[in-house]
Amino acid sequence: MKLDELITIITNQTGTAVNQSLLAECLGITRQTVSNRIKNDSEVTVSELKKAEKFFNINLLYNNIHDFNLAYIDYYTDVFASCGNGSIVFSSEKTKLPIPASLIKGYSKNKLYSVINASGNSMSPTINNGDKLIVEHWNGDQIQDNKIYVFCYNNEFFVKRLSKNIDEIIIKSDNPEYRVRTIEADAVSDLILIGKIVTTIQSLD
């Protein structure tokens, strides 16, 4: 669902015209951000739908969930990385989380997705502690510069922006308090990609 579609739905349900300023107040962002996202055909996140439900006292998602093309994705409340043999192992504790397919960027039934929890503040303000992250599992594609990935390196589990610099990998955090790191060419093979973050469901806590 696009932001302009959300405005139309809210207007229809409330009987009151909703402008960009009111939607910005509802979502906790600036009017200019709303305007830019509409121009860029930005998708609405599940957390934003929940904010709109609460702000306008209407039903957008959970009570009308049959109106959505749902993707039932494995949600792992706890994950761990086993890098001894170059493999990533998810915990066996999982549930199926229904997510409107329209909220998943580039969604395809032929791709594998999982949902994990974010921990820490290294990717703040883009990703905050407690957010749910939808991961499109890696299928051998090249790293897309400056996209956010989940990966394992030196037996540690990371969510960071990755870029390639010839044969090196640049690792960036969105939080400026964290320094940029580089994986040199001779150690690149030790980085194990799990997948790319395609959608963030923000925590409302």
Which strand (E) or helix (H) includes residue 37?
Answer: helix 31-39
The residue out of 21, 40, 67 marking a domain boundary is 67
CATH of the domain at 43: 1.10.260
- How would residue 65 be classed by pLDDT, with cut points 50, 70 and 90? very low
Question: In this structure, which long-range contacts are made by residues 92-95, counting pairs with CB atoms below 8 Å and at least 24 apart in sequence?
Answer: none
Q: Share the mean pLDDT of the chain.
A: 81
The residue out of 67, 96, 113 marking a domain boundary is 67
Q: Do 104 and 179 lie in a common domain?
A: yes
Residue 50 has pLDDT above 50, yes or no: yes
Q: Do 51 and 90 lie in a common domain?
A: no
Q: What is the count of structural domains for the chain?
A: 2
Residue 64 has pLDDT above 60, yes or no: no
Task: State the DSSP string of 40-66.
Answer: TTPBPPHHHHHHHHHHHT--SSGGGGG
Q: What is the pLDDT of residue 81?
A: 41
Residue 188 has pLDDT above 80, yes or no: yes
Residue 204 has pLDDT above 60, yes or no: no
CATH of the domain at 93: 2.10.109.10
Of 111 and 75, the one with more pLDDT: 111
20-42 confidence digits (pLDDT tens): 888 899 999 998 998 888 888 77
Q: Do 63 and 154 lie in a common domain?
A: no
Q: Do 79 and 57 lie in a common domain?
A: no
Q: Do 52 and 117 lie in a common domain?
A: no
Tokens (6 digits) for 71: 């993707």
Q: Do 34 and 100 lie in a common domain?
A: no
- How would residue 169 be classed by pLDDT, with cut points 50, 70 and 90? very high
Residue 83 has pLDDT above 50, yes or no: no
16-30, 90-104, 110-124: least confident range? 90-104
Residue 181 has pLDDT above 80, yes or no: yes
Q: Do 28 and 76 lie in a common domain?
A: no
Please report the sign of the dihedral spanned by the C-alpha atoms of residue 39, residue 48, residue 100, residue 173.
positive
- How would residue 68 be classed by pLDDT, with cut points 50, 70 and 90? low
13-27, 43-57, 66-80, 185-199: least confident range? 66-80
Domain carrying residue 38: 3-67
Residue 11 has pLDDT above 60, yes or no: yes
Q: Do 104 and 197 lie in a common domain?
A: yes
- Rounded to whole angstroms, the Cα distance separating 183 from 168 reads 6
Q: Do 93 and 168 lie in a common domain?
A: yes
Q: Do 28 and 93 lie in a common domain?
A: no
Q: Do 22 and 92 lie in a common domain?
A: no
Of 2 and 180, the one with more pLDDT: 180
Q: Do 46 and 100 lie in a common domain?
A: no
The residue out of 52, 67, 82 marking a domain boundary is 67
